[in-house]
A = this chain, B = another copy of it.
Amino acid sequence: MEEKFSSLSDLGEFGLIEHLCRDFPLRQASSIKGIGDDAAILEFLSGRTVVSTDMLVEGVHFDLSYAPPQHLGYKAVAVNLSDIYAMNARPTQITVSIAVSNRFGIEYLDKIYEGIRHACEVFEVDLVGGDTTSSYSGLIISVTAIGTADEDQIVERSGAKENDLLVLSGDIGGAYMGLQVLEREKTVFQSNPDEQPDLSEYKYPIERQLKPEARKDIPELLEKLGVKPTAMIDVSDGLSSEALHISKSSNLGVRIYEEKIPIDPSVYKLCEEFKLSATTIALNGGEDYELLFTMPLEDHDKIKANPHLTVIGHMTEAAQGNMLVARDGAEVPLQAQGWNAMRDINKEV
């Protein structure tokens, strides 16, 4: 495995998979056999198994001119695991399929797999399968994540109750503003390649965009606090869109208080710089991969003052609709204008 490969085709499909998937030890007891046969062999003898899948497409979900391949590999795994955590489950295995064109050498793919390997370590999941193929155009990464949970642990979107608190982990809007900075610097760089941008003051939002974290710690924290969410979802498409998923699935209304939405100071500052409303960005920006959940009002004391959790609103009866309560007390209907991979399709030539 120490040979030097000049191109992907020298290695062949089997050799390439073997090469990329070496050094992926199996950590989970449920992983009986990983890569190397027609299918992986797993064992789930209790509870429920959850499965989620996502595809990242070059030019739609990432731009290789500023996304380092290690981060890309890490992100492809993290965004899938985020869906597993959003079920209040524990991820156990992933499969990764990649389509690449001749533009990419083996060294580049190695770096993507370095990021995948790092994510497997951090989130303690096993890479148990995958496919590698050529593509006549861009890079595409498709990940399927598998997880497990006891039947009574699983949290769906549909379980919210009237008067439940609406709670958000971390802060939001960063990933979107990080993307704005990266796009701006790309434009600057294209017109003046000698200028090296100083991005140090934008470190947080840029990292939120390029290397988002799945909130592995939140289900653990909630268990420790003795709080069981009634409904949960991850914030991939913007707070507004995700809150509407919960209220619709639960046949309720939702009320979000603008002043409560947690936004990092660096994101506020960037919004001013870009002349954008921080609230709009938080509601519609997406890609933050925080967890949004509902929980019984009577458990409020258990989470109060926890630095990872912010109560941003509550659930109401359906007739009251889905509302953003602005700082001045005005009520504005929430709309799903989340980041949408389909919206970009018309930009195509």
Contacts and interface: CB of A to CB of B under 8 A. Distances in A.
Shortest beta-carbon contacts, A-B, top 10:
A137-B137, A39-B52, A134-B345, A142-B142, A38-B86, A39-B50, A38-B83, A55-B97, A144-B144, A133-B341
A183 interface: no
Contacts of A48: 32, 41-43
B52 A38 contact: yes
Interface string A41-56: 1111110111111110
Interface stretch (A58-66, A187-195, A297-305): A58-66
A11 interface: yes
A41 B89 CA distance: 10
Contacts of A239: none
Q: Which of A54, A134, A151 lies at the interface centre, i.e. has the most chain B CB atoms within 10 A of its CB?
A: A134
A45 B45 contact: yes
Interface residue tally of chain A, by bracket?
A: 35 or more
A37 B102 CA distance: 37
A53 B95 contact: yes
Contacts of A97: 53-55, 142
Given A51-B95, A60-B99, 14 more contacts: A7-B346, A36-B157, A37-B156, A37-B249, A38-B87, A41-B87, A53-B95, A53-B144, A57-B99, A60-B135, A95-B144, A102-B345, A102-B348, A134-B345
Contact of A348 (B43, B55, B133, B134): B134
A343 interface: yes
Given A137-B138, A157-B37, A342 B13 contact: yes
Interface stretch (A124-132, A202-210, A306-314): A124-132
Main secondary structure of the interface of A (DSSP, over half): mixed
Contacts of A57: 99, 133-136, 140
Contacts of A52: 38-40, 95, 129
A154 interface: yes
Contacts of A61: 133
A225 B348 CA distance: 56
A92 to B, nearest CB: 11
Nearest to A56: B133
A344 interface: yes
A295 B131 CA distance: 28
